[in-house]
């Protein structure tokens, strides 16, 4: 397949060139293959990898967890991958519960404030 320039790879991944380079520095993407500069050093693997990173990120994995997942992928270590997924799901559940609670509290405050009785605004007073 026709090799890509870094700017083309970035575009296909929906990120900026600097972000691609940042991922390379983090070891998430391979460094340019051709020895020299200004060439077309990237292929379909790199595009796939970049998209993998972005999708894993939306699942809430941090970049260093993603680095681990990539290693797991190489080693085909399914039990460890399941562990990570379970841990991530638990963290997600916790975060969701936390945000849901905050949302409910805030919604109640906003409603009370809108009702507009006298006295201080409940939103402002609530945190007192």
Partner DNA sequence: CTTGACTCCGTACTATGGTACGGAACCTAT
Partner DNA sequence: ATAGGTTCCGTACCATAGTACGGAGTCAAG
Please tell me whether residue 95 binds DNA under the rule CB under 7 A.
no
Residue 108, sorted as left (phi over 0), alpha (psi -120 to 50) or beta, turns out to be: alpha
Cα distances from 7 to residues 63, 126, 128, in angstroms, run 21, 50, 51
| CB-nearer residue toward DNA: 26 or 86 | 26
Please tell me whether residue 100 binds DNA under the rule CB under 7 A.
no
Please tell me whether residue 8 binds DNA under the rule CB under 7 A.
yes
Which residue in the set 13, 41, 46, 49 belongs to the binding site for DNA (CB under 7 A)? 41
Binding residues (CB under 7 A) for DNA: these are: 5-8, 15-19, 21-22, 24-25, 31-32, 36-39, 41, 57, 62-64
């Amino acid at each position: 397949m026709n090799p890509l320039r870094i700017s083309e790879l970035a575009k296909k991944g929906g990120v900026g060139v600097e972000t691609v380079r940042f991922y390379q520095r983090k070891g998430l993407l391979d460094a340019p293959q051709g020895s020299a500069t200004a060439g077309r050093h990237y292929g379909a693997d790199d595009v796939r990898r970049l998209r993998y990173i972005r999708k894993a990120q939306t699942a809430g994995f941090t970049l260093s967890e993603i680095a681990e997942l990539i290693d797991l992928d190489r080693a085909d270590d399914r039990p460890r991958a399941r562990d990570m997924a379970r841990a991530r799901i638990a963290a997600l559940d916790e975060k969701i519960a936390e945000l849901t609670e905050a949302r409910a509290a805030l919604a109640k405050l906003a409603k009370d404030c809108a009702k507009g009785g006298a006295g201080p605004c409940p939103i402002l007073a609530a945190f007192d």
